[in-house]
Amino acid sequence: MADWNEVVFSDESRICLPHHDGRIRVWGHRGERMLNSFVMHLHTGSAPGIMEPVVLPYLQGLVTAIFQQDNARSHMARIVQRFFFNHQIELLHWPARSPNLSPIENMWSMVAQRLTQITPPAATPDQLWQRV
């Protein structure tokens, strides 16, 4: 690979209220600040349904981009792989069981730690979203 600045890292994390199962997905490009357009609520849906409205336009707006995602079963599904192929999205091969290679993992650790330090804890999804 020629340049790590071309890699768009992706990852997801579950950040929940008590008795609530919600997920947030984040995309980021090295050297850019995280913007709300990179963050979305995720409840259910297929990866192409998530990728098409946000990630695809973002990648198409870059001169060169290589998309990175981990080897989660849902990411390796045929429908997801076909989506990448059909849209000519170059993927970065990612070794199995290697989350420590992704810079986003450090961000999730910091977010989780900071959320536990905020009192009182978020009571509503809107409060949690504001804190994230």
Q: For the chain, percent helix, then strand, then coil, each to nearest 5?
A: 45, 20, 40
Residue 60 structure tokens: 């198409």
Q: Which residue has the tokens 């429908």?
A: 79
The pLDDT value given to residue 42: 52
- Write the CB contacts of 67 (distance below 8 Å, at least 6 apart in sequence): 7, 8, 10, 55, 59, 84, 89, 90, 91, 92
What is this structure's pTM?
Answer: 0.67
Residue 6 structure tokens: 């071309």
d(CA 3, CA 106): 21
The pLDDT value given to residue 19: 60
d(CA 4, CA 8): 9
The pLDDT value given to residue 43: 47
d(CA 63, CA 49): 24
User: What does each of the 132 residues of the chain score in pLDDT, given as a tens digit?
Assistant: 568 889 888 877 777 776 655 555 555 555 555 544 455 555 445 556 677 887 898 899 998 999 988 877 878 888 888 999 999 999 998 887 777 777 887 888 888 888 888 888 888 878 887 887
